[in-house]
Structure 1
Amino acid sequence: MRASLLILLLSVQLINSEDLACKSCKFVVSELEKIFEKDLVKECIQPLISFLCERFHIQTHNICKGITSTFKEEFLYVIKELISKPQHVCGLLLKDCDHEDNPLYSNWTIPIPGNKPQKNDRKPPKDTIGPTLRVLHITDLHIDLEYAVGTEVDCGEPMCCRWPKERSMKPLKSPAGYWGSVGNCDSPLWTVENMLKHASTKQGRIDYIVVAGDLESHADWEYSKEGHLETINILFPLFNKYFPRTPLYFSLGNHEGYPVDNVAPHSVPEKFQMTWLYDAMLKHFGRWLTVKDQNSFRYNACFSTLIAPKLRLISLNSILGDNMNFFLYLNQTDPDGTMTWFASELLQAEKRGEKVQILAHLPAGAGEMFEQWAINYYRLVNRFEDTIVGQFVGHTHKSQVYLTFEDPEDATSRPTSVSYSGPSATPYDGVNPGYRIYTIDGVRNNSTYKIIDFADYYLDLIEANANYSYKDMAPWKALYTSVKKEYNMASLEPEEWMKLVHKMPNDHQFMRRFEKNVYRRDLGPCDAGCVQDRVCQMVTSHHSKALCQSVRGNIEGDSSPSPPPRLSLPSLRSFLTKCPV
């Protein structure tokens, strides 16, 4: 649904002959050039995208129509820039088509600054000695202002639990509950507010809050600037209502993009910049940042700020590494110098003797991340492993752990760091909503600022909808109050998480409990494929099959899905002849 740029040229990748596919690609690009030259974009491009969207059953008619409307201007700008170099486009999509070796300028690396200090033996912080910090991790709120109690949960579309756009005569199979519903449904606003109320009234002291992005619903074909601003002006005041004196730090999610996933670097025209969004956000959480940090966020949605003596938090805009970000199809290379800036901030922190926490939305190993962004991030994490003491991410909606290793291609080498994808506030994608609280080594001389432990809290939606009315506090409860006790870990050092990876294939009871905690609901036994998927996910923080294979051997992937319907060159030519080019 979001890859409209590739939808336009999808047909050429479905042709078996490489030579014919290359010729077909050049034909499509040449036709597009004619369309732009004769100013026939409105008559031809938008109908073509809608046609392909419906032809390949990517979505329903209404959603396909919404996609073309939402993405129109940004999409057409990127296409116009791309088609000026047919070999650029075809070299990108097809191997050995005009031999464009690096069409996206994707093989980029940044210099690793400074010399890595000699590795110190890890000394995990003790549980009970000295002060601690308590940190609330919230991510993927995805509020749906159109959520409607009693509507269909299993509607067969990307977003359910809403009144349908067209009248349906189908009988209601599964009505949406008051507090939310597991499935393709986002969070009603009142559930998110109830979560914040529970965290503020039941959890005692919270020293600061990290929010890892994604405020908007998954109805991304309906996005608008007005809608984004409405969400910001609803959600941030709720944080202020329940945590008026608690610092809040935010990282941009892919659903903050308008269109979705699209955050423009400064290499494209100013009209595509997201300053309007950043300014709106800063009005709400900017008071916790210095003027310098505010200006940094206003530039590219990144900042680096001191949050305690010798403790720095870096908010990294990971959407500048998102392979669904159209603007990066023009040039991937270190957008806005963000990774170079990140390296510099880490180096300066090391020189000052500071520890660093990183807040981002996309995990580096996420499928949506460009590999060069992921591997540059990976190399920096390894270089500054003694400086980085926390990595907080979101996006997956699941409670996941990602490990990095001294050898980026070998998961049997020494593990160097761990990042945490927190539980999502939305139930979308088969989870119960949740939030997390970390206990961190606190402010004192020579504090490690390492994570000592964390607790996860969740809302069982089946129980909540059955037994609680809107007048009550929803029954949020602990999934576990100590992850260390839950998994019998000596500490949360990377080596301890790696011990769990080795345990997984041989302990079915443990694996079922682990998966229950990932989803915040019991999915039943975890079979061999499930175990392999989890092991691979935990050891893969960049796109390397070698990492997975080094731990589990030759792991077979899922069975291939049925191929999509083919669109031949003649049928595409027939469609294009409707345009008067």
Structure 2
Amino acid sequence: MTKVSCTACRAGAGLLQHYTKTGKSEKEIKKTIYHFCVNLKIQSPRVCEGITELFASEVIYVLGKVNIGPDEICSFVIGDACGDVYNPYHEWEVAFPPVPKPTVVEPKVPEVNAPTFKVLHLSDTHYDPYYMEGANADCAEPLCCRLTNGHALSKESAAGKWGDYRKCDTPKITVDNMLQHIQDTHPDIDYILWTGDLPPHDIWNQTRDENLKILKETVKQMSQMFPGVPIFPALGNHEAAPVNSFPPPFVNTPDSSISWLYDELDTQWRKWLPSSVSNTVRRGAFYSVLVRPGFRLISLNMNYCNNKNWWLLLNSTDPATELQWFIYELQSAEFNGEKVHVIGHIPPGHSDCLKVWSRNYYAIISRYESTIISQFFGHTHYDEFEVFYDHKDLSRPINVAYIGPSVSPYYHLNPGYRIYYVDGDHDKTTRGIVDHETWIMNLREANIYGYPLWFQLYSARQSFGMDALRPRDWDDLVERMTNDPQLFELFYKYYYKASPVKPTCDMECKKKILCDLHSGRSHDRKNLCQSIESRVDSSSNTTWRDWFYNTISVSVSVIMSIPRLTMQVPKYVLGLG
């Protein structure tokens, strides 16, 4: 997030707060936002209208209730790029039980040739029921490749049969083909992790009914394709309408309550989950289940850490008491000698995760490092991971969050999915990850030849030369990539799922990616990334002439961006930037 984005956020938030305090009606404010959006050509008129209608009421209501100014609001919404502004209304800590942390034992490498579970991880399907082959894929809206985008004016701008690398989501034919391929190729799957984001990116015209329809259709399809296979779902940020809008339980008015979604999740997820989870699913869309004796899975609703969830500005203190419940479940698991896998959608170290929530989560992972074996998330669409460190000793790696690739090609990506091999049922099981594979479909070739071929892109241990997949092994991989350009290039290829249209990665890009891999705690680049960034800088051999030129270029770019500032205001005010 840039300084310009931060300034735009502050200007927009300040403007809206001024309007609400001076008595402007919601209708007047909406009209102003709409005209601003259209006249500055931020989006097409229909997108401006849809965004204004869907988002403005919520944002206006929240900004009218909070007692903080634009600096605090934008530090909350954007994070450290907007400065670390102290905000007493959003400083809180979870309470740990008075139970000493067990003595830490170095994780063991799973035994060779021991039985394993084969686990499928699907994430970010973003199925688009209105995708149309031949439609304009090069539109100026948040989502293209639809009839409403018009027919393509050239062959190059036409949406392909199986999907497109531009701002287009997944056609039904591709979802169907992938699931059939998985059923044929992996008939021995033991269970499935399904980490959310089912609806497409048409965020300006979504409705509750449309999103629920997609939820029901996809649950039905998964049940039919994988009968008898346990499926453990987690909630994405796109399931709500509008997107990112997840009011905590204290917001219970009929127009604003999220019960329309959580109640249906309870009904749909009941196909795989026991009735005992109904209470927490309906209250906050999270749950805990026993997969096997001694092996527990906990699914978290990461939208309570989502800093684009404007409702949290009213009160971000452990929404739905999810983290306190999480601690209770982990403490019970520790007492019972259970090992735990955690799943969710937004990775806790991602910039979309609220800093105070992420900090508390990081402390929980550290306290229960002997119980939590692995974590699994989605959201970014990339093929990556996050290493967690002891929050009192940031040199000691203690856990790993695996971030699965998206099914959707949105955007510049090949469709993909992940297979994990988990240490299975035997006397010395660790429940650790033995290895993982990423499988993809080459979208360009599928559209050229008329039929997709799914194949294994890589396996982690073989491709990265890893003896095992313990936290220290992933930490070592980050260290090696910092010093080995060829190894980083290989990782970057897999990061984009071998997309032929992936952008070039310069030094700033490399620093960002390596920092992300090192960061299980969001908005804490100073503590988690300084060493890595320094080593990348030193390896780039930048001369003083390069430094001088880059400094001048940055200064000029900031000056030149000032006229564009006002064009970005509505976007950041509505949490879409």
TM-score clears 0.5: yes
Alpha-carbon displacement from aligned partner over 1:362-406 (angstroms, at most 9, x marks no partner) = 011111111011111111111111111120000000011100112
Partner SS for 1:249: strand
Which amino acid in structure 1 is aligned with residue 443 of structure 2? L
Partner SS for 1:520: coil
Task: Note if contact 1:104-1:329 (Cα within 8 Å) is conserved in structure 2.
Answer: no
Distance 1:93 1:357, change over 3 A: closer
Q: Distance in 2 between matches of 1:315 and 1:222?
A: 29
Partner SS for 1:552: helix
- Equivalences for residues 293-308 of structure 1 within 5 A: 293-308=277-292
How many angstroms does 1:208 deviate by? 0.9
Identify the residue that residue 552 of structure 1 maps to in structure 2: 533
Identify the residue that residue 267 of structure 1 maps to in structure 2: 250
Identify the residue that residue 541 of structure 1 maps to in structure 2: 520
Distance 1:409 1:553, change over 3 A: farther
Alpha-carbon displacement from aligned partner over 1:498-545 (angstroms, at most 9, x marks no partner) = 221121133332222211111111548754334322211110122212
Task: Note if contact 1:304-1:314 (Cα within 8 Å) is conserved in structure 2.
Answer: yes
Alpha-carbon displacement from aligned partner over 1:62-110 (angstroms, at most 9, x marks no partner) = 211111111244334323323xx4x556754599xxxx98657211111
Correspondence for 1:445 among 422, 427, 437:
427
Q: Does the alignment pair 1:150 with 2:130?
A: no
Larger mean CA deviation between 335-344 and 44-53 belongs to 44-53
Q: Does the alignment pair 1:226 with 2:209?
A: yes
Larger mean CA deviation between 48-57 and 556-565 belongs to 556-565
Q: Distance in 2 between matches of 1:304 and 1:245?
A: 20
Identify the residue that residue 81 of structure 2 maps to in structure 1: none
Correspondence for 1:532 among 498, 507, 511:
511
Which amino acid in structure 1 is aligned with residue 385 of structure 2? V
Task: Note if contact 2:136-2:153 (Cα within 8 Å) is conserved in structure 1.
Answer: no
Q: Distance in 2 between matches of 1:439 and 1:566?
A: 49
Identify the residue that residue 376 of structure 1 maps to in structure 2: 360
Task: Note if contact 1:151-1:161 (Cα within 8 Å) is conserved in structure 2.
Answer: yes
How many angstroms does 1:134 deviate by? 1.0
Q: Distance in 2 between matches of 1:430 and 1:169?
A: 19
Correspondence for 2:470 among 465, 490, 493:
493
The two structures, once aligned, show a CA RMSD in angstroms of 2.9
How many angstroms does 1:10 deviate by? 4.5
Q: Distance in 1 between matches of 2:140 and 2:147?
A: 13
How many angstroms does 1:566 deviate by? 7.0
Identify the residue that residue 576 of structure 1 maps to in structure 2: none
Larger mean CA deviation between 364-373 and 439-448 belongs to 439-448
Identify the residue that residue 417 of structure 2 maps to in structure 1: 435
Identify the residue that residue 406 of structure 1 maps to in structure 2: 390
Partner SS for 1:565: helix
Partner SS for 1:356: strand
Distance 1:226 1:466, change over 3 A: same
How many angstroms does 1:420 deviate by? 0.6
How many angstroms does 1:195 deviate by? 1.1
- Equivalences for residues 33-182 of structure 1 within 5 A: 33-35=21-23, 40-42=25-27, 44-54=28-38, 57-82=41-66, 85=67, 87=68, 92=73, 103=87, 105-113=89-97, 114-129=99-114, 131-164=115-148, 171=154, 173-182=156-165
Which amino acid in structure 1 is aligned with residue 485 of structure 2? H
Distance 1:527 1:28, change over 3 A: closer
Alpha-carbon displacement from aligned partner over 1:337-361 (angstroms, at most 9, x marks no partner) = 1111111111111111001010100
Distance 1:139 1:408, change over 3 A: farther
TM-score, structure 1 length as denominator? 0.85
User: Which runs of no fewer than 5 residues in structure 1 stay unpaired?
Assistant: 1-5, 14-24, 573-581
Q: Does the alignment pair 1:416 with 2:414?
A: no
Alpha-carbon displacement from aligned partner over 1:105-125 (angstroms, at most 9, x marks no partner) = 211111233321111122110
Task: Note if contact 1:293-1:304 (Cα within 8 Å) is conserved in structure 2.
Answer: yes
User: Which runs of no fewer than 5 residues in structure 2 stay unpaired?
Assistant: 1-5, 77-83, 538-549, 571-577
How many angstroms does 1:565 deviate by? 3.3
Correspondence for 1:359 among 333, 340, 343:
343
Task: Note if contact 2:265-2:281 (Cα within 8 Å) is conserved in structure 1.
Answer: no
Q: Distance in 2 between matches of 1:136 and 1:257?
A: 25
Which amino acid in structure 2 is aligned with residue 190 of structure 1? I
Correspondence for 2:453 among 470, 475, 488:
475
Distance 1:286 1:515, change over 3 A: same
Distance 1:91 1:548, change over 3 A: closer
Aligned residues: percent identity? Answer: 34
Q: Distance in 2 between matches of 1:178 and 1:72?
A: 36
Partner SS for 1:53: helix
Identify the residue that residue 174 of structure 2 maps to in structure 1: 191
Larger mean CA deviation between 269-278 and 115-124 belongs to 269-278
Task: Note if contact 1:549-1:555 (Cα within 8 Å) is conserved in structure 2.
Answer: no
Correspondence for 1:509 among 486, 493, 502:
486
Q: Distance in 2 between matches of 1:268 and 1:56?
A: 35
How many angstroms does 1:468 deviate by? 2.8
Tell me the number of residue pairs that the alignment of Structure 1 and Structure 2 aligns: 534
Alpha-carbon displacement from aligned partner over 1:176-207 (angstroms, at most 9, x marks no partner) = 11111112110001211211111111113111
How many angstroms does 1:151 deviate by? 1.5
Distance 1:366 1:399, change over 3 A: same
